[in-house]
Structure 1
Amino acid sequence: MTAPVYIVLGAGPGLGLSTARRFAEAGHRVVLLGQSVERAQPLADQLVAEGYAADVDAVDLLDEADVRRAVAAAGERHGRIDVLHFNPSAWRERTVLELTVAELLEDVAFGAGALLPALQAAAPVMPAGGRVLVTGSAAADTPWSGAPTLGVQKAAVRNLVTSIDATMKERGVRAVAMQVNGMLAKEGPFGPDAVAAALFAAATRPDEGWTAHVSYNG
């Protein structure tokens, strides 16, 4: 049996790295998909230095073909994808009096739409018991007017997870969006390690009583 594989889109030095480490601690091989190899490689190097297996690739989340390529390549390298973690979001400080339709749609494509090609590329190598995990935000319910696209992204991806879970459960794969009801911080209950532990718990629940949405209140 090969080790289970955890792949994260939107890998960064904060929550993305902490969540990858938590899955690595549980025996998963980690694949970090970031904006560039140059940015993601130091994160993988850090995990490797800690004794974990990790590799990286670059992905353009606004390029559907590139998302498919990166996820499919990870599946081909390792033969399976057990956890597909969708972590990105776009932050754009423009009020609704300034925001253009093109900007809104670009941010939704980045923070929600890219999940579709990622899922479609991962699905052929996701075994029963696999999980689709999405980092959600209270912005879905209480958006800040200064950056309204974030709330639209988080509401859209939360809604999408409902359909993903209903579709994928026939294959034994479940999906969950964990809504983080607080501002991410450097430490404390909303620090990266605490939120990562909650994401891990949300994804590793048994199928019995499964819900596609959970909240983390710190």
Structure 2
Amino acid sequence: MKTTLAIIGAGPGLGLAAARRFGTEGFNVALISRTQEHVDALAVELTDAGITARGYAADVRDAESLNTVLAQAAQELGAVEILQFSPVPSKEYLRPVLETGREELRSALEFSVLGAAAAMNAVLPGMRTLGRGTALFVNGSSAVRPNHNYAGTSAAFAAESAYAQMLHEALAPEGIHVAQLIIPLGIGGGDPAHEPAALAETLWSIYSEGTEFRTFVTLLA
């Protein structure tokens, strides 16, 4: 029975590269972002490469829409064995701390933490039924080293990191691996290790071989 990789925040960079990497290993792929046309185009590209993929529109800040599309993906493609949570933060979360108010912080936390919780709550019962599963949380360096120039994301990524680490500790005895990939220079960034295909390979290694919670693409200086 085939199972599914669900990518929250699927785009033409890391999302597409991860879909290709896992798809070539036999996983079906659910591509999730806010725009149906966007994910449909990615799904066509993957289908042309021989990978079973479908696009679903949902907003990470809308728990009901996430629940709906993840349930639909599981029904149409197979149980979600792997969740990749990697939505791209809004520019409003990348402002200096003195220019970031309560509402910006609330929105950032809703995006990164409550969105992650909604996704996990949706897929965890299926993983438990399978008796296995992997959740991959993808973050920048501000998750472990706050940057006052990017206040919203720094606060939200730190909270998401704490949530994911607690999941890692709580779910490991059930055979469900929760892991975090830190990409210090961002996707691309001029370093070959940060290119989408290389990052997708790292995610595959975490899935297939990893047991630890946190992996750094490159060590922070």
User: Normalising to structure 2: TM-score of the pair?
Assistant: 0.90
Of Structure 1 and Structure 2, the greater helix share is in 2
Equivalent residues in 2 for 1:19-98, closer than 5 Å: 19-90=18-89, 91-92=91-92, 93-98=94-99
Report the alpha carbon displacement of residue 52 of structure 1 after superposing the two structures with TM. 0.8
Report the alpha carbon displacement of residue 186 of structure 1 after superposing the two structures with TM. 7.0
Letter aligned with residue 15 of structure 1: L
Select which of 127, 130, 133 maps to 1:130.
133
Question: In the alignment, which residue of structure 1 is the partner of 2:122?
Answer: 121
Contact in 1 for aligned 2:193/2:217 (Cα 8 Å): no
CA RMSD of aligned residues (A): 1.7
Verify: 1:106 aligned to 2:110, yes or no.
no
Verify: 1:183 aligned to 2:186, yes or no.
yes
Question: In the alignment, which residue of structure 2 is the partner of 1:199?
Answer: 203
Contact in 2 for aligned 1:34/1:58 (Cα 8 Å): yes
Which segment is superposed worse, 76-85 or 8-17? 76-85
Contact in 1 for aligned 2:3/2:78 (Cα 8 Å): no
Letter aligned with residue 12 of structure 2: P
Secondary structure of residue in 2 paired with 1:163: helix
Secondary structure of residue in 2 paired with 1:73: helix
For 1:4 and 1:79, locate their aligned partners in 2 and report how far apart those are by CA, in whole Å: 5
For 2:208 and 2:132, locate their aligned partners in 1 and report how far apart those are by CA, in whole Å: 9
For 2:36 and 2:183, locate their aligned partners in 1 and report how far apart those are by CA, in whole Å: 28
For 1:141 and 1:165, locate their aligned partners in 2 and report how far apart those are by CA, in whole Å: 16
Contact in 2 for aligned 1:89/1:111 (Cα 8 Å): no
Secondary structure of residue in 2 paired with 1:97: helix
For 2:143 and 2:121, locate their aligned partners in 1 and report how far apart those are by CA, in whole Å: 24
Matched-pair identity in %: 24
Secondary structure of residue in 1 paired with 2:98: coil
Contact in 1 for aligned 2:82/2:133 (Cα 8 Å): yes
Q: How far does the alpha carbon of each residue in 1:115-153 deviate from its partner, in whole angstroms, 9 at most, with x for none?
A: 111111111211223101111221223344332212222
For 1:164 and 1:110, locate their aligned partners in 2 and report how far apart those are by CA, in whole Å: 18
Select which of 145, 150, 154 maps to 1:142.
145
Q: Which runs of 5+ in 2 are unaligned?
A: none
Secondary structure of residue in 1 paired with 2:100: coil
Report the alpha carbon displacement of residue 38 of structure 1 after superposing the two structures with TM. 0.7
Secondary structure of residue in 2 paired with 1:119: helix
Report the alpha carbon displacement of residue 33 of structure 1 after superposing the two structures with TM. 0.5
Letter aligned with residue 82 of structure 1: E
Q: Which runs of 5+ in 1 are unaligned?
A: none
Report the alpha carbon displacement of residue 94 of structure 1 after superposing the two structures with TM. 2.3
For 2:124 and 2:146, locate their aligned partners in 1 and report how far apart those are by CA, in whole Å: 32
Equivalent residues in 2 for 1:166-181, closer than 5 Å: 166-181=169-184
Report the alpha carbon displacement of residue 22 of structure 1 after superposing the two structures with TM. 0.7
Verify: 1:152 aligned to 2:155, yes or no.
yes
Contact in 2 for aligned 1:79/1:125 (Cα 8 Å): no
Question: In the alignment, which residue of structure 2 is the partner of 1:17?
Answer: 16
Report the alpha carbon displacement of residue 197 of structure 1 after superposing the two structures with TM. 0.8
Letter aligned with residue 122 of structure 2: A
